[in-house]
Structure 1
Amino acid sequence: MMTTRTTNELLLGAAPIVLVLLLWQGLVSYGYAPATLLPPPGQVFQRMAQLLTSVTFQQDIAATLFRLFAGFAIAVVIGVAAGIAAAVSPPVNAVIRPIVRVLAPLPKVALYPAFLLLLGFGHESKIMLVAADALFPILLSTYYGATTVEQKLIWSALAAGTPPRDVLWKVVLPAAMPSILTGCRIGLVISCIVVFLAEMITSTDGLGHVLVTAARTFQAVDMFVPLITISLLGLILNGLLQGLRAYLLRGFPSV
């Protein structure tokens, strides 16, 4: 039963991707888009297979993944810690709430020039931009999950003799975990987008740099390769995070 359900979910998930590829091929085959500007998908995937054997392209992928993971990890640590602290401590909440209200709607890419001036053109500025963009979904999801924990769970733990300090780790954090992991999935998607954008703006390596270099030399096929690559990486990472979520929440009814 579970195998059939998983298979159906995979087929339903793959259907939109197949339709996009068919539409893409149809636009080229029927002349609605010139192949010089929109190369056929087969040619793009063939080129991607060639580039994946290149050490330079592998290094570009590694640079993108390093920035993505570093920024995302910083966002998770700060977001979860700040969200839990704001949920259980009114003074902390009073400090964090106005900061979130001011900075959460702000496009973080607007801060990128400041990050460049402060941290330089290396990994640090890009990691900081990824962390800044992924932070608020994780923080808000953590805060929401921690504040919606049923009070009777906390009362039951205290009545059972659990020290108040341990209630946070043994009751509040586990109960808020579904919401935290949802925020992490949103933050991961944002991280993939932002790291690619940062590398397009200013970088000497990474998948975003590959796209900009191809665009400057009018190599249409090479422009699509990094786009497909970052999409596949995002798909794989999202699947891994979903698997981790299912493992961590295996005792919850919704999983």
Structure 2
Amino acid sequence: LFVCVCGDLVDTESSFNGALASWKKVMTGWERSLIFEQQVKDFKRVWSRLDSDIALVCLCGNHDVGNRPTKASIERWTSSLGDDYLSFWVNGTFNIALNNCLFSNPSGAPEMFQEQLLWLEKRLIYAQENKATHIFVYTHFPWFLRHENETDEEVVTFSGAPPGWGPEGTSFPDNYFTIPFEERQMAMLLFRKYNVTACFSGHFHQNVVAKSSWGMDMIVTGALSMTLSSGMASELSNGEINGIGMRTVDVGEAGEFTHKWFLLDE
């Protein structure tokens, strides 16, 4: 039994040139570092209340390591919160947690991107050779919203922010939230070749239940903070209610895999 938090554990990253939060525009690097350290302490304090029998797996998001991660931003993460990618077994399933912020934009740390990509294939080979009942992949960014071959030009909808968050009418293009086509295909080729069952992610601030052309699930779970609402929410959510919540994933004794979304007030 484990819990996975799919990124954005803190919110101090300085690469957001168009950040709506005014403090991000005026605070210096050392001030952001102090806030980062305090937010990490707060995160650990809150999650220390988790039952000690439940493992906590933390992924880095763009608010942790940046829209253009660098060696320095990633090392700041790892020094405070552990590995930015890892793998582990749970009851016959093989689980891979990735830093796919590097897939979103590898230009700031290309060597680290290539190192992780090589590691990923080795782990997938290992899982297949050891007959994992399922291979699950966890990331911050969704790989896609509708299908693995979608392009930015196809995704023309926007996700609106809730009232009171940012200037009136604040919205974000939905194609901002996914991995660029070229880097996505690198992952998809591996996931298809080694029969990954499902990918789980966050970042989109709303739910998505989709499948690749070969049947791999792409499951996006909304944030525990602010929700967004896409212009194609009804198509993407598979009937799941938009709100603050979490998702449970079960693998039965016969190997069957199910997942369910719960609102916190339930």
Give TM-score, length-normalised by structure 2: 0.24
Question: Which protein is richer in helix relative to its size?
Answer: 1
Question: Which protein is richer in strand relative to its size?
Answer: 2
Give TM-score, length-normalised by structure 1: 0.25
Higher relative contact order (CA 8 A, sep 6+): 1
